[in-house]
Amino acid sequence: MLGCILLTFIHVLFWQPGHCQDVTQLPKIIWKSAAESAEMNCSHTRDKGHNQMYWYRQRPGETMTLVVYTVYGGKPDYGENLQSKYSAVKDTIETGALTVKDLQPDDSGVYFCAVSKHSDVRKHNS
Q: How far apart are the first and last CA of the chain?
A: 43
Superfamily of domain 4-116: Immunoglobulins (2.60.40.10)
For residue 68, the model assigns a pLDDT of 96
Instruction: Compute the distance between CA of residue 21 and CA of residue 108 in angstroms, rounded to an integer.
Output: 27
For residue 119, the model assigns a pLDDT of 52
Q: Which amino acid is at 41?
A: N
> Quick check: bond before 76 cis, omega within 30?
no
In order along its 126 residues, the chain shows pLDDT tens digits of 455 655 554 434 333 433 445 788 888 888 888 888 999 999 998 888 889 999 999 988 899 999 999 999 999 999 988 888 999 999 999 999 999 999 988 888 888 899 988 655 555 444
Taking CA atoms, 98 is separated from 14, 16, 26, 93, in Å, by: 19, 24, 11, 15
For residue 60, the model assigns a pLDDT of 83
* Other beta carbons less than 10 A from residue 108's beta carbon: 18
For residue 21, the model assigns a pLDDT of 52
Query: Taking a C-beta distance cutoff of 8 angstroms, is the pair 100, 41 a contact?
Result: no
DSSP state of 80: T
For residue 7, the model assigns a pLDDT of 56
What does the domain layout of the chain look like in residue ranges?
4-116
